[in-house]
Amino acid sequence: MAVAWAAIEALSRGLAAELSPKGIRVVCLRSAAIPETEQIKEVFAIQAKSYGLTPEELKTRSEEKTLRQQLPTLAEIANAAVFVASDQASAMTGAVANLSGGAIVD
């Protein structure tokens, strides 16, 4: 999956290079797993079973791998998206907003 994520980030930078001269900004939002989403609940359940853990234990282990010891919430991602789309971030393009909580450090 890491290769796919890197490709998405590269695509967003390429789109920014192409579209920014036309006044279109492109910013990629990179997050870690968002535990309150149905997809991540399902993924945690599948992965936890393969490791012999409960989904909550797997979530805790995932949180421990972040610098802030917690995974991002849907509200945190939404707040960042609203900011990036706003005029307050008008100088921002060709960037990847790291919302992983420190799971990935740039």
12-36 pLDDT per residue, tens: 999 999 999 999 999 999 999 999 9
Same domain for 28 and 78, yes or no, is: yes
User: Are residues 81 and 105 located together in one domain of the fold?
Assistant: yes
Q: Which domain holds residue 80?
A: 1-32+72-106
The pLDDT, as a whole number, for residue 92 is 97
> Quick one: pLDDT at residue 72?
97
Which structure tokens are listed for 42?
A: 């399902």
What band does 40 get if pLDDT is binned at 50, 70 and 90?
A: very high
- Do 99 and 77 share a structural domain? yes
87 and 38 in one domain? no
Of 1-5, 76-80, 99-103, give the lowest mean pLDDT range. Answer: 1-5
Same domain, 97 and 45: no
CA distance linking residue 89 with residue 25, whole number of Å? 10
22 and 45 together in one domain: no
Same domain, 26 and 7: yes
Beta bridge partners of 96: 28
Q: How many CB atoms lie within 10 A of CB 52?
A: 7
Sorting pLDDT into bands at 50, 70 and 90, what band is 1?
confident
Residue 98's beta-bridge partner residues?
A: 30
Looking at the fold, whether 101 and 80 belong to one and the same domain comes out as yes
Residues 13 and 24 in one domain: yes
Average pLDDT score over the chain: 97
Q: Tokens in use for 60? A: 């805790």
Backbone dihedral angles phi then psi of residue 90, each to the nearest 5 degrees: -60, -20
Which string of b and e fits 85-99 if b means at least 16 CB within 10 Å? eeeebeebbbbbbbb
